[in-house]
Structure 1
Amino acid sequence: MAGAAANFRYMHTMIRVLDLDKSIAFYTELLGMKLLRRDDYPGGKFTNAFVGYGPEETDTVLELTLNWGREEPYELGTAFGHLALGVRDIYGVCAELEKRGAKIPRPPGPMLHGTTHIAFIEDPDGYKIELIDLDTMG
């Protein structure tokens, strides 16, 4: 299928969340994304919120899905790995995130088998987000 990539555009990743307002606050207030839209679907009993660093028309975004009436946290499973964000000054970013209440299960530091510095943080539902220091990528 030569040239097939020209027919596709990566649009979003969807994760299910237990508390939509808490998740929106995490991604917008701590990670600097913007709430792009939020839509209720009463017939399906769910709400979708899209957050990202740019408009859906040109940027890949994150879809947060709240299934109404859910009271128990989701099992994250073993197939999902993490989301990844590039940052400058990973040590300063992590210090600020920690000060603002973010969980940082893997503090910033060099990769075990490389020179790039990384860290992992967790959102309110326990999804892991890798922070990659753009200044040390190599």
Structure 2
Amino acid sequence: MRILHTMLRVGNLEKSLDFYTLVLKMKLLRRKDYPDGRFTLAFVGYQDEANGTVLELTHNWDITQYEIGEGFGHIAIEVENAQQACEETKKLGGKVTREAGPMKHGTTVIAFVEDPDGYKIEFIQKK
């Protein structure tokens, strides 16, 4: 068994795809419109679905905004250098909500950024 993907509902698919592909450097792996259901699914990730966990971005055509669910925490991405990842995120128009630094009660260097819908992404610096 393995985790296949995490699904996020997004209000503006193009804005979200730009964030995940241009800012976070993921690849668009597949995208399909479902006209009868009035939604689009787009899968993004750093490797293909057979070899790694990916994100499923679900865009319901008639909904432009969602409330962030209380149960959702964040998506974690390993980076070589958290400070550099934050600087590049800001340079590309992304929002950093916690600058790089040691986690509370620990030494692991982390940072947080936010996607266009307000979902949190944690950068964890590789040890």
Shorter-chain TM band: over 0.9
Any idea what the Cα deviations from partners look like across 1:10-55, whole Å, max 9, x if unmatched? Answer: 1111000011011011000011100001000111111000000111
Question: Is 1:74 matched up with 2:49?
Answer: no
Gaps of 5+ in 1: 1-7
**From 22, 44, 49, the counterpart of 2:15:** 22
TM-score by length of 2: 0.96
TM-score by length of 1: 0.89
Question: Is 1:95 matched up with 2:92?
Answer: no
**From 50, 58, 67, the counterpart of 1:65:** 58
Q: CA deviation at 1:93?
A: 1.3
Q: CA deviation at 1:56?
A: 1.0
Secondary structure at the residue paired with 1:130?
A: strand
Question: Is 1:120 matched up with 2:112?
Answer: yes
Any idea what the Cα deviations from partners look like across 1:81-111, whole Å, max 9, x if unmatched? Answer: 0000000111111111111111111111111
Q: CA deviation at 1:9?
A: 2.3
**From 79, 83, 97, the counterpart of 2:75:** 83
Gaps of 5+ in 2: none
| Equivalent residue number for residue 12 of structure 1 | 5
For 1:15 and 1:24, locate their aligned partners in 2 and report how far apart those are by CA, in whole Å: 12
Question: Is 1:107 matched up with 2:104?
Answer: no
Q: Percent identity?
A: 57
| Equivalent residue number for residue 32 of structure 1 | 25
Secondary structure at the residue paired with 2:124?
A: strand
For 1:62 and 1:104, locate their aligned partners in 2 and report how far apart those are by CA, in whole Å: 20
Secondary structure at the residue paired with 2:21?
A: helix
Length, aligned pairs only = 127
RMSD of the alignment, in Å?
A: 0.9
For 1:112 and 1:121, locate their aligned partners in 2 and report how far apart those are by CA, in whole Å: 17
For 1:58 and 1:116, locate their aligned partners in 2 and report how far apart those are by CA, in whole Å: 26
Kindly report structure 1 stretches of 4+ aligned residues shifted beyond 2 Å: none
Question: Is 1:134 matched up with 2:122?
Answer: no
